A and B are shown apart, each in its own frame.
Chain A
Amino acid sequence: MAMKIGEGKFKENVNKNMEDTFMRGAVASAQERLRTRRLDAAEELGNWEEWRSHGEEIRQHVLNNLDYYLHELAENLQKRGGHVFFAATADEATGYIREVVNAKGGKKVLKAKSMVTEEIGLNQVLEEEGCTVIETDLGEYILQLDEHDPPSHIVAPALHKNKEQIRDVFSEKLEYKMTSKPEELALHARETLRQEFLTADIGITGCNFAIAESGSVGLVTNEGNAGLVSDLPKTQVVVMGMERIVPTFEEFEVLVGLLTRSAVGQKLTSYITALSGPREEGDVDGPEEFHLVIVDNGRSSILGTEFQSVLQCIRCAACINVCPVYRHIGGHSYNSIYPGPIGAVLTPLLGGYDDFKDLPYASTLCAACTDACPVKIPLHELLHKHRQVIVEREGRAPISEKLAMKAFGLGAASNPMYAAGSKMAAAMMKPFTKNDRISNGPGPLKAWTEIREFPAPNKERFRDWFKEYEKGGGNQ
């Protein structure tokens, strides 16, 4: 599985997924819970807007000086004996990791949750090599058990499943016999997983933010699994998106604060782990070998464009948790491991318009996402930018729409045409009108009236009324 998770057309996916009332119920209740917790956490912190601006500044500064910080990070990590590999593409990244694993004769790979490893399709590559890959994040673990069901959310990958469905997966695959209580499910998973920790050869994690100054990698988890994944196996591989970097621990702290509050409404997640390369003499724990794989995979071509701000993203999912479109169609409809508003902006940039040109239209531009984003990415503006690029630069809009918009341009801008058109509207719509309503409209109105009534145009427009009213001296 790589970034693209299905072959279906967007509209078909939507129609299929909207039938799934279980999924929609699970998504709606998760959204409400996460949204409220985020708002409470933000309020508790006070001056949230200042924190957001600060977060935005840090991210912008890093993106504008990315070369510098990547260099610093690599140098500092190498000084301590870590290996650094810059991967231009997904294939280069997985190829490198495959070699590391093979060189170690590794068979059992433990993973902590990481979206970038999903993006490059790492599990599949390793499984084809004959490795057993074990996801240690509870959500990822559930999906893995369930025949590699793709993630539908970037923080809570199994968000589309309710606890009964999870129990069913466990009973089928793990001979689980207990109830669907979340605590019992989690305990069972933990016990099953713990045995795996001790015998793994390689640990693979993602990276929330690398810290350039110290040459280390910061990881934030709820379950503490990243710490185990990175401590126990002898060989450690970290995969990071090339933009996930901060200058020093000071900025790290700010961004982690924004991340945990925005993602799950917590002041701090339960575990923050900093990895600083291989074990040194005198260290009691840590891996013997440490590899950092820095993945470009299309990111550098976003730098310097009108879409650069999307790289500010810290993958908190706040935008997804407030999106009313995501709420009804669920994550899988997007056909990408990056769903929701962030996905609708990022996926076409990384994966191209051929497969993903519908995504920027899956939004009312209501701006709930922009409002929620802790690093102030203007998501609804970027969705609109995509539309503009699709229409103007790529020329991919349907001809009928282009003609209609041309006509609109002329009609709306010209007084006589607007006046004549709006005046004639009532007469033209007369055959379709009943009780001042149009229930079965022609042409472009058809799609509207399949769902709703459309008002008949006023016989006397406002402007006609006003003319008469003024003549009569208004209210004087």
Chain B
Amino acid sequence: MSNVKVTLFITCIVDMFQADVGKATVEVLERLGCDIEFPMGQVCCGQPAYNSGYVEESKDAMKKMIATFENAEVVVTPSGSCATMFKEYQHIFHDDPVWRPRAEKLAAKTYELTEFIVNVLKVENVGARLKGVATYHPSCHMTRLLGVKDAPMTLLKNVEGLRFEPLPNAHNCCGFGGTFSVKMGNISEQMVDEKVDSAEQTKADFLIGADGGCLMNIGGRMERRGKPIRVMHIAEVLNSR
């Protein structure tokens, strides 16, 4: 498949803190024959306020995003959680006759990055190469709410040189949870510590994930504790050669 027009929803975390993940996403998709478009009008998807219960406050940001991506053919984002949020809009605007249909259209054309590569582009090997031992943290929103479970592993298994060690208790949340990470900091700390302990048990060189928020949480805790394992977003892994 060639020249698929992809409109990138980069997420505010990647835009501001993980620009390298954004660049890797662009390069991987271009190599697979996509034309990338990036509407500068995109802002935050509204999730931080929404999840804290500020539904009304977050609606303007959501409307802004719906309008910004209105003309896109497909929307791809390197975050399972933010993709889930785009799909949530249709429920949030359920009783709004104007915005609901627009939100439904957005939901139908939004894909998380690995899901897009495997299920739409039908590519299982992106030709990446990375030497070492890796473990993978499946983020909660991506696996449970978006339902993307297999695509990341399908792609990662085909990365040349990478050997996998399963992460113990992988299903447990890393303790990020947006504002939970600061509002309930003491609980969050215990959760992320258990995640870091599990990752260390694997003796992996890389901890891979597909969601910037979780990676910022796990990575930030690892660095604080010292002897960090290298935390990589899956886009960066797929862009390694």
Chain A partners chain B: yes
Spell out A's residues near B (CB within 8 Å): 11, 14-15, 18, 32, 322, 324-325, 327-329, 361-368, 370-371, 384, 386-392, 397, 401, 405-406, 408-410, 412-415, 418-419, 422, 425, 437, 439, 444, 447-448, 450-455, 457-458, 460-463, 465-467, 469-470, 474-475
Q: Are A451 and B188 in contact (CB under 8 A)?
A: yes
Cα distance A14–B43 in the bound complex, in angstroms = 36
Give the residues in chain A near B109, CB-CB below 8 Å.
none
Residue among A370, A397, A452, A466 making CB contact with B38, cutoff 8 Å: A466
Task: Give A371's nearest chain B residue, CB to CB.
Answer: B144
Q: Are A14 and B186 in contact (CB under 8 A)?
A: yes
In the A-B complex, the 10 residue pairs with the closest CB atoms: A364-B177, A387-B53, A452-B220, A413-B60, A409-B57, A462-B22, A366-B173, A447-B182, A366-B140, A391-B53
Q: Are A18 and B190 in contact (CB under 8 A)?
A: yes
Prevailing SS type, chain A contact patch: helix
Smallest CB separation, A450 vs chain B (Å):
6
Q: How many chain B residues touch A (Cβ–Cβ < 8 Å)? A: 68
Interface centre among B140, B141, B173 (most CB of A within 10 A): B173
Give the residues in chain B near A467, CB-CB below 8 Å.
40
Cα distance A458–B145 in the bound complex, in angstroms = 30
Q: Are A401 and B173 in contact (CB under 8 A)?
A: no
Q: Are A405 and B52 in contact (CB under 8 A)?
A: yes
Give the residues in chain A near B60, CB-CB below 8 Å.
409-410, 412-413
Q: Are A465 and B175 in contact (CB under 8 A)?
A: no
Q: Which chain B residues (38-83) contact chain A, with CB distance < 8 Å? A: 38, 40-41, 43-44, 46, 48-49, 51-58, 60-61, 63-64
Q: Are A462 and B15 in contact (CB under 8 A)?
A: yes
Cα distance A447–B176 in the bound complex, in angstroms = 13
Cα distance A371–B189 in the bound complex, in angstroms = 24
Q: Which chain B residues (10-39) contact chain A, with CB distance < 8 Å? A: 10, 12, 14-19, 22-23, 26-27, 30-31, 36, 38
Residue among B26, B169, B191 making CB contact with A328, cutoff 8 Å: B191
Cα distance A105–B164 in the bound complex, in angstroms = 69
Q: Are B217 and A457 in contact (CB under 8 A)?
A: no
Give the residues in chain B near A418, CB-CB below 8 Å.
12, 43-44
Cα distance A474–B16 in the bound complex, in angstroms = 21
User: B108 within 8 Å of A by Cβ?
Assistant: no
Q: Are B51 and A365 in contact (CB under 8 A)?
A: yes
Cα distance A466–B42 in the bound complex, in angstroms = 13
Given contacts A368-B173, A451-B192, A452-B220, whether A475 and B30 have CB atoms under 8 Å apart is yes
Task: Give A423's nearest chain B residue, CB to CB.
Answer: B16
Q: Are A462 and B54 in contact (CB under 8 A)?
A: no
Task: Give B30's nearest chain A residue, CB to CB.
Answer: A475
Cα distance A419–B52 in the bound complex, in angstroms = 23
User: B171 within 8 Å of A by Cβ?
Assistant: yes
Smallest CB separation, A204 vs chain B (Å):
37
Q: Are B56 and A448 in contact (CB under 8 A)?
A: no
Residue among B53, B188, B191 making CB contact with A392, cutoff 8 Å: B53
Q: Are B22 and A15 in contact (CB under 8 A)?
A: no
Q: Are A405 and B191 in contact (CB under 8 A)?
A: no
Q: Are A409 and B15 in contact (CB under 8 A)?
A: no
User: B94 within 8 Å of A by Cβ?
Assistant: no
Task: Give B212's nearest chain A residue, CB to CB.
Answer: A455
Q: Are B173 and A364 in contact (CB under 8 A)?
A: yes
Give the residues in chain A near B190, CB-CB below 8 Å.
18, 328
Smallest CB separation, B199 vs chain A (Å):
14
Give the residues in chain B near A14, CB-CB below 8 Å.
184, 186-187
Residue among B19, B57, B141, B191 making CB contact with A324, cutoff 8 Å: B191
Give the residues in chain B near A362, CB-CB below 8 Å.
184, 187
Q: Are B56 and A392 in contact (CB under 8 A)?
A: yes
Cα distance A398–B74 in the bound complex, in angstroms = 40
Q: Are B185 and A451 in contact (CB under 8 A)?
A: yes
Residue among A363, A390, A412, A463 making CB contact with B180, cutoff 8 Å: A363
Q: Are B192 and A452 in contact (CB under 8 A)?
A: yes
Given contacts A384-B51, A463-B10, A466-B22, whether A452 and B186 have CB atoms under 8 Å apart is no
**Apart from the given pairs A408-B49, A458-B16, A465-B22, 6 other A-B contacts in the complex at a CB distance below 8 Å:** A322-B171, A325-B184, A364-B177, A367-B144, A452-B192, A466-B22
19 contacts between A and B (CB under 8 A): A325-B191, A361-B184, A401-B52, A405-B54, A408-B49, A408-B54, A412-B12, A412-B49, A412-B61, A415-B40, A437-B223, A447-B183, A450-B185, A451-B189, A453-B221, A463-B15, A465-B19, A469-B26, A475-B30
Task: Give B11's nearest chain A residue, CB to CB.
Answer: A462
Task: Give A405's nearest chain B residue, CB to CB.
Answer: B54
- Taken residue by residue from 88 to 132, chain B's Cβ proximity to chain A (1 for < 8 Å, 0 otherwise) reads as 000000000000000000000000000000000000000000000
Interface centre among B16, B60, B145, B185 (most CB of A within 10 A): B16
Smallest CB separation, A19 vs chain B (Å):
11
Q: Are A466 and B173 in contact (CB under 8 A)?
A: no
Q: Are B144 and A462 in contact (CB under 8 A)?
A: no
Give the residues in chain B near A361, CB-CB below 8 Å.
180, 183-184
Smallest CB separation, B29 vs chain A (Å):
10
Give the residues in chain B near A397, CB-CB below 8 Å.
53
Give the residues in chain A near B144, CB-CB below 8 Å.
366-368, 370-371
Given contacts A364-B180, A447-B185, whether A408 and B48 have CB atoms under 8 Å apart is yes
Give the residues in chain A near B55, CB-CB below 8 Å.
388, 392
Give the residues in chain B near A444, CB-CB below 8 Å.
182
Q: Are B216 and A412 in contact (CB under 8 A)?
A: no
Task: Give A417's nearest chain B residue, CB to CB.
Answer: B43
Q: Are A462 and B10 in contact (CB under 8 A)?
A: yes
Q: Are B43 and A365 in contact (CB under 8 A)?
A: no
User: B172 within 8 Å of A by Cβ?
Assistant: yes
Given contacts A408-B48, A453-B223, whether A365 and B61 have CB atoms under 8 Å apart is no
Give the residues in chain A near B27, CB-CB below 8 Å.
475
Q: Are A451 and B224 in contact (CB under 8 A)?
A: yes
Give the residues in chain A near B219, CB-CB below 8 Å.
453
User: B181 within 8 Å of A by Cβ?
Assistant: yes
Give the residues in chain A near B17, CB-CB below 8 Å.
455, 457-458
Cα distance A467–B63 in the bound complex, in angstroms = 24
